Structure 1
Amino acid sequence: MKKIVLAYSGGLDTTFCALHLSRDLGYEVHAVIVNTGGFSEEELKAIETRANGLGVASFHILDVVETYYEEVIKYLVFGNVLKNQTYPLSVSAERILQAKSLAEYAKSIGAKAVAHGSTGAGNDQVRFDMIFQTIVPDIEIITPIRDLKLSRQEEIEYLKKHGVAMNFEKAAYSINKGIWGTSVGGKETLTSSDYLPEEAWPTQVTEHDPKELTLTFVQGELIAVNGKKFESPTAAIQEVQAQAAPYGIGRDIHVGDTIIGIKGRVGFEAAAPLIIIKGHQLLEKHTLTKWQLFWKNQLAEFYGNHLHEGHYLDPVMRNLEAFLADTQTFVNGDVRVMLHPYRFTLLGITSENDLMSNKFGSYGEMNKGYTAEDVKGFTRILGNQTSIFHKVNNSDEAN
């Protein structure tokens, strides 16, 4: 029997795929779940039990949380990446790393095919296929739900026919949880006008009194929260999430352009990503030069868009990561953040690398680095070409 690696989550689609691939297509199915920080131990145990009940040849958990941070999340922080100035790429970034990990696993066990449960309607099908065709170009990609154009009801009838017992009730909201945020989809996100109700959000609001957090960054990476140092930035991210999520912080709905050319809406809950990105961005405003900030903004926006659309393996991404990492040398210091229900306030920063230093003057009051005559000469030179243009062309604006 030919080996096939199935991206398995334990939901309806991948349960169908596991059974169809083995019973109907004759594959030796190796079910793999890629954990990017969204599963508890209990959930992983339940998913493993369900997979084994389907008769898969093996079930394997790839814990890639640290890899996810080192290869993807770190650069999203360095670039302060928010898609359309709103969305921290919670799902799209996760899918890239999941696909890459699955492809590498398929190669390691000598699989002849890989499969995923994507339909033909979303972005994930493109992300998975692009990664697979690059890393394992000789391996067949099989997508039963997409290829057979199956409805949810047809999947349910097939599974019932083969004696699969599971909860076939469709949840009111689809939830996808990872360390870099949780997506929420439901009937409201299929409209252009409706907002998600309170009960749709995975984390309910239980904190109401304001609370201050201090985030400590070293070379752009979060290493401590409220003075407590963590062995890994992933642990620091989880600490911020634990502190801020009960305030209902980080909830929003992203409206964007899909890879396949249609617009879509998705709700998300991302307290830690938004606080960390905005805190990091404030620290950069104090520690980087004007032109460092300018070029970071341009290149980081491209980086986020390219990642979102599945082009993670394009070599230009490694070039951009090198640039982003190089800008972080002096992004060091503490950022104070005040948490409130449904919002947060950036209070200020403390940094030895703060370029807003009174050693060189106070904005709007005094300077210590130049004279009034220096400014007059500088201004004349700075505007010289504009002045010449208007004089040569007899512009009315110059008269």
Structure 2
Amino acid sequence: MSGVNKVVLAYSGGLDTSVILRWLQETYGAEVVAFCADLGQGEELEDARRKAEMLGIKPENIYIEDLRETFAREYVFPMFRANAVYEGTYLLGTSIARPLIAKRQIEIARETGADAVCHGATGKGNDQVRFELAYYALAPEIKVIAPWREWDLTSRTKLLNFAERHQIPISKDNMGEAPFSVDANLLHISAEGKVLEDPAETAPEYVHTWTVSPENAPDEPTTLEIDFEDGDPVGLGGERLSPASLMERLNEHGARNGIGRIDIVENRFVGMKSRGVYETPGGTILWHAHRAMESITLDRGMAHTKDELMPRYAELIYNGFWWAPEREMLQAAIDHSQHTVTGTVRVRLYKGNVIVEGRSSPYSLYSEAHVTFEDDEVYDQRDAEGFIKLNALRLRLWHSHRG
């Protein structure tokens, strides 16, 4: 690729993106802008700033930004309004982070006059697709650099040798062979590769770095009351919290009680299957609570239609189409359904389980007068006879002619 003068790199300070940073300088002779997003991964990001400066990046070209509130409010919460789950189990923790990182990269490119953006995703995974679909949607003219599809540093040994030649500091835990690859943010931690590549083998306990095992969780349950407004969680037990603060609090409770562990084999967009071990403590609690809130506030037709749309919505996010018009169209329909999803859900957390114990709402459609087994004055049970016969008419006609 010719004519690249300045490039915005999605930078973490780890081995891969530190090598990429120097590789961009050597290969393209371009000025590099290093962008590191704090999405709640729990790392000390000032170390990334110091390393970027040591690698020759001007201070004004280093962006370390706290995007936790934006991530929770504008990405995680809209996705949870849809109850989105990919292939029945995955709550999309990595997938939903990529459109925000990509969007901010494009904004920084415009602010700094950069003509290219760069990511560190490999050519085998989903993230390359997610990043680049977002780049092209938000800036159709942008140039995209994907080092893993260009360079000859095709092994960990070659990366380490490159780092040593260029005096790029590598943390001690990276000097040996890493047991697995980790991605973390406010919503989840994922682990893939190495010791996890054989799906028949049980994942070692040390892979789980966030949650305690359900067996070692407290013997006493934790009870939470989660407050919702218009489909979004807004507080716990009457205490109003910001989106990121609420997620952090749910994560603390969930991790302590062994909530949110899954071990799955998923179908990547690029065609292969991959095994992943994910921890989503707060998100798992939120998913159960939101569905419970909807159970008394959504009309049956609306609720069932949402459930029909959800797999398509989840697949769009997984495959990287957050900025696609059809995702925005589905989001508008989903958001329209949430205007009455307001109230409080009570859940009990116990050894890996999220147990819904109660739900209440000023917009509740639940009518005790109609469902009671005692005498009532609002429902004539004789009406059911005609209802059943009308629904049975086509069945009777069909089966009477089948012999």
TM-score range, shorter chain: over 0.9
Unmatched runs of 5 consecutive residues or more in structure 1: none
> 1:71 corresponds to which residue?
74
RMSD between aligned alpha carbons?
A: 1.9
> 2:288 corresponds to which residue?
278
In the alignment, is the contact (CA less than 8 A) between 2:222 and 2:349 conserved in 1? yes
Pick which of 157-166 and 10-19 moved more. 157-166
What amino acid is the match of 2:93?
Answer: S
> 1:390 corresponds to which residue?
399
Matches within 5 A, 1:317-328: 317-328=327-338
In the alignment, structure 1 residue 59 sits paired with structure 2 residue 68? no
Q: 2:125 aligns with which of 122, 126, 140?
A: 122
> 1:172 corresponds to which residue?
179
The Cα shift of 1:243 comes to: 1.7
In the alignment, structure 1 residue 158 sits paired with structure 2 residue 169? no
Q: Distance in 2 between matches of 1:316 and 1:139?
A: 23
In the alignment, structure 1 residue 309 sits paired with structure 2 residue 319? yes
Q: Distance in 2 between matches of 1:175 and 1:296?
A: 32
Where 2:167 maps in the other structure, the secondary structure is coil
Q: Distance in 2 between matches of 1:368 and 1:263?
A: 57
Where 1:31 maps in the other structure, the secondary structure is strand
The Cα shift of 1:193 comes to: 1.2
Residues 204 and 327 of structure 1, relative CA distance in 2, 3 Å threshold: closer
Residues 101 and 313 of structure 1, relative CA distance in 2, 3 Å threshold: same
Where 1:215 maps in the other structure, the secondary structure is strand
The Cα shift of 1:169 comes to: 2.7
The Cα shift of 1:55 comes to: 0.7
What amino acid is the match of 2:176?
Answer: E
The Cα shift of 1:338 comes to: 1.1
In the alignment, is the contact (CA less than 8 A) between 2:226 and 2:235 conserved in 1? yes
In the alignment, is the contact (CA less than 8 A) between 1:13 and 1:117 conserved in 2? yes
Pick which of 78-87 and 338-347 moved more. 338-347
What do the CA deviations read for 1:64-91 (whole angstroms, capped 9, x no partner)? Answer: 2232233321222111111112111000
Q: 1:371 aligns with which of 380, 391, 403?
A: 380
Q: 1:82 aligns with which of 64, 80, 85?
A: 85
Where 1:383 maps in the other structure, the secondary structure is helix
> 1:354 corresponds to which residue?
364
Identity %: 30
In the alignment, is the contact (CA less than 8 A) between 1:203 and 1:248 conserved in 2? no
Where 2:150 maps in the other structure, the secondary structure is helix
Residues 182 and 204 of structure 1, relative CA distance in 2, 3 Å threshold: closer
Q: Distance in 2 between matches of 1:144 and 1:386?
A: 61
What do the CA deviations read for 1:162-185 (whole angstroms, capped 9, x no partner)? Answer: 222223334323321111111122
Q: Distance in 2 between matches of 1:118 and 1:253?
A: 22
In the alignment, structure 1 residue 138 sits paired with structure 2 residue 141? yes
Q: Distance in 2 between matches of 1:365 and 1:78?
A: 36
Q: 1:260 aligns with which of 244, 261, 270?
A: 270
TM-score by length of 2: 0.91
What do the CA deviations read for 1:12-50 (whole angstroms, capped 9, x no partner)? Answer: 11111111111332111111012222234xx11111111
**How many residue pairs were aligned?**
390
What do the CA deviations read for 1:113-142 (whole angstroms, capped 9, x no partner)? Answer: 111112211111111111112222222211
In the alignment, is the contact (CA less than 8 A) between 2:229 and 2:343 conserved in 1? yes
In the alignment, is the contact (CA less than 8 A) between 1:111 and 1:139 conserved in 2? no
Q: Distance in 2 between matches of 1:320 and 1:367?
A: 40
TM-score by length of 1: 0.92
Q: Distance in 1 between matches of 2:390 and 2:260?
A: 47
